[in-house]
Amino acid sequence: MSTTVKIGLIGFGRIGKIHFNNIQQRIPEGEIIIVSDPVADFSGISVAVGSVDDVISHPDVEAVILCSPTDTHADYVEKAALSGKHIFCEKPLDLSLERIIRTLELVDETGVKLMLGFNRRFDANFLKIKNLVNNGDIGEPQLVKVTSRDPGPPPLSYLKESGGMFLDMTIHDFDMARYIMGKEVKQVYASAAVFWGEEIKAAEDIDTAVITLKFEDDSMAVIDNSRKAVYGYDQRLEVFGSKGMVNVDNNKPDNHFFYNEKGVHSALPLHFFLERYTESYLSEMREFISALQNDKPVSVGGEDALKATLIALAAKKSVQENRPVTIEEIKESLGISI
């Protein structure tokens, strides 16, 4: 690995631009040297622009970052792996579990590193919780509670390609539950509803859910989701254990409290993920580039993508059949034994 890791970026939308700016401006150990996007405007960008193949086959490129649409992820991961490039891929890896498994097997064979973009693991609040849990301050964790609400649903076009709320939105929370607890999920029960209209129903999707996870040792997680919180982006987490409890509140743009005759007023949470997770996007990318430079394992690997997807599929089935669904059952139905 060279002193500065040479990177190719595929996909220059909202997330792609975050990674681009972080690397070019704030991570001197990395450098994006070529970018690909069929529709983006590259004016003002001083790096090479090319096709996906140009990026993946570029002789100086040591790693690729995939921020293209979900349905291209698996293809590009495979191409990049076969070209010997390390990969950072936005979640989800794919909507199909079989495809995820096949892709991970191939990645495994090639020996390249693959990191998944579960950026929330790098948020200062959740890291603090993780550290308290790891240090034993909470004792044995018995319950993790995740509140995750978006300020508004994405457009119908996005919804149709998204794989549904569980695979698109809750997958972050499934990953967080596993990460914080450090245990595997054995069973899922999800209760869901549509409160925000015809478009979501038309897409056969849901916008509201409460999901209960059971871990191998009977400890639990409960996640509540909404696609629309009128007050903004709501991202809170709590862990309850045998020796204590820890929770984190939302981040706010400032700490003011304004008192007048009507009450005490304070700021709403940071509006959405770009604001809330600004620093965690930076941290995850620093960790990816550092793992490459020091030839160490990445902290969020293919197995994490796989496990979160299994939980999401179980949740989907749980809603469809209104019953708890085991992870084992999902594996068996797909003939998987991992």
Q: Judging by DSSP bridges, how do beta strands 5-10 and 63-66 pair with one another?
A: parallel
Residue from 68, 119, 208, 309 that binds a second copy (CB under 8 A)? 208
Q: Which of 71, 98, 195, 328 binds a second copy (CB under 8 A)?
A: 195
Centre a 10 Å sphere on the Cβ of residue 256 and count the other Cβ atoms it contains: 9
Q: Find the Cα–Cα–Cα–Cα dihedral 98, 102, 172, 331, rounded to 10°.
A: 40
- Judge contact between 89 and 114, C-beta under 8 A: yes
Judged by CB under 8 A, does residue 51 bind a second copy?
A: no
Could you give phi then psi for residue 62, rounded to 5 degrees?
-100, -25
Q: Which of 26, 201, 271, 296 binds a second copy (CB under 8 A)?
A: 26
- Among 33, 229, 334, 336, which residue sits at the site for a second copy (rule: CB under 8 A)? 229
Does position 148 interact with a second copy (CB under 8 A)? The reply is no
What minimum distance in Å lies between the beta carbon of 218 and a second copy? Answer: 4
Q: What is the 3-state secondary structure (H, E, C) of 39-108?
A: CCCCCCCCCEECCHHHHHHCCCCCEEEECCCHHHHHHHHHHHHHCCCEEEECCCCCCCHHHHHHHHHHHH
Which x/- pattern over 73-92 shows residues binding a second copy (rule: CB under 8 A)?
--------------------
Residue 41 binds to a second copy (criterion: CB under 8 A): no
The residue among 20, 77, 88, 31 whose CA lies nearest residue 52 is 77
Query: Judged by CB under 8 A, does residue 201 bind a second copy?
Result: no
**Exposure string over 196-224, b if 16+ CB within 10 A, otherwise e:** beeebeebebbbbbebbbbbeeebbbbbb
Count the site residues for a second copy by CB under 8 A: 64
Q: Does 42 bind a second copy (CB under 8 A)?
A: no
Choices 108-116, 163-171, 257-265, 290-298; region in contact with a second copy by CB under 8 A: 257-265
What is the Cα–Cα distance from 214 to 217, expressed in whole angstroms? Answer: 8
From candidates 14, 244, 275, 338, binder to a second copy by CB under 8 A? 244
Sites of contact with a second copy (CB under 8 A):
25-26, 124-125, 127-129, 132, 137, 139-140, 142-143, 145, 149, 189, 191, 193-195, 208, 210, 212, 214, 218-220, 222, 224, 226, 229-231, 234, 240, 242-251, 253-268, 322-324
